[in-house]
Copies of this chain bind each other. A is one copy, B any other.
């Protein structure tokens, strides 16, 4: 029987690559998709489509962050991006919350690994994308769970952590990731705005990889 993995799937490019990578490593993947009031809600539909195309089970977890403080949740706020050191799209403790719920699920289904597509370009800005955070979370997971006490805590896999966007895109291409289904734009429009940080990172990534973005 295949080992199980829980994959955090946002609908964006990075997590889609993480999913296809986990699948290529032979894991039976359960995708976790968070519906947390993000203004770019259409990424949820993208995530569903990606999971279905990959032939993987998925679960949408509705989550009420219920407190604002981020331009990603507050539809009245403007998405400015990286003007300050930590972007205004930072959602308080978001990846800790996501990972904790993924950990709970992973423990319940006895998954061997949790995959998350956090990477280098993000951790210049988001503290919860830094390698030291994942190391610290792993230790908390080991000491705070039954599986940890039994020496079987799910691993926290961040296979993209040291890659830049162009490298991630090249890897995704080798893995046949359906980039045309992925959604990156932080603004909630019908088409990508082309101006927010996320759109710009994506465009630069495709440029750096020497590829066309099939979603445009």
Cross-interface CB contact of A61 among B66, B99, B100, B137, cutoff 8 Å: B66
- Count of residues in A whose CB is under 8 Å from the partner chain: 46
Binds B, one of A21-29, A49-57, A144-152: A144-152
Q: If A86-B149, A127-B148 touch, does A141 touch B67 (CB 8 Å cutoff)?
A: no
Cross-interface CB contact of A100 among B96, B107, B132, B139, cutoff 8 Å: B96
Per-residue interface assignment for chain A, residues 193 to 206, with 1 indicating a CB less than 8 Å from any chain B CB and 0 otherwise: 00000000000000
Q: Which of A82-133 contact B (CB under 8 A)?
A: 86, 90-97, 99-101, 103-105, 107-109, 127-128, 130, 132-133
Cross-interface CB contact of A128 among B59, B67, B132, B145, cutoff 8 Å: B145
Say yes or no: B69 contacts A107, CB within 8 Å: yes
Say yes or no: B65 contacts A64, CB within 8 Å: no
| Chain A interface SS verdict (over half) | helix
A1 interface residue, CB < 8 Å from B?
no
Say yes or no: A104 contacts B100, CB within 8 Å: no
Cross-interface CB contact of A108 among B67, B99, B130, B149, cutoff 8 Å: B67
A68 interface residue, CB < 8 Å from B?
yes
A62 interface residue, CB < 8 Å from B?
yes
Which chain B residue lies CB-closest to A97? B100
Say yes or no: A103 contacts B108, CB within 8 Å: no
Which chain B residue lies CB-closest to A102? B93
Q: Smallest distance from the beta carbon of A200 to chain B beta carbons, Å?
A: 22
- Please, which residues of chain B bring their CB within 8 A of the CB of A127? 143-146, 148-149
Sample (15) of A-B pairs whose CB atoms are under 8 Å apart: A66-B105, A68-B108, A69-B107, A86-B149, A92-B103, A92-B107, A92-B108, A93-B104, A93-B107, A95-B144, A96-B104, A97-B100, A136-B142, A136-B144, A137-B140
Say yes or no: B133 contacts A65, CB within 8 Å: no
Cross-interface CB contact of A104 among B94, B133, B140, B141, cutoff 8 Å: B94
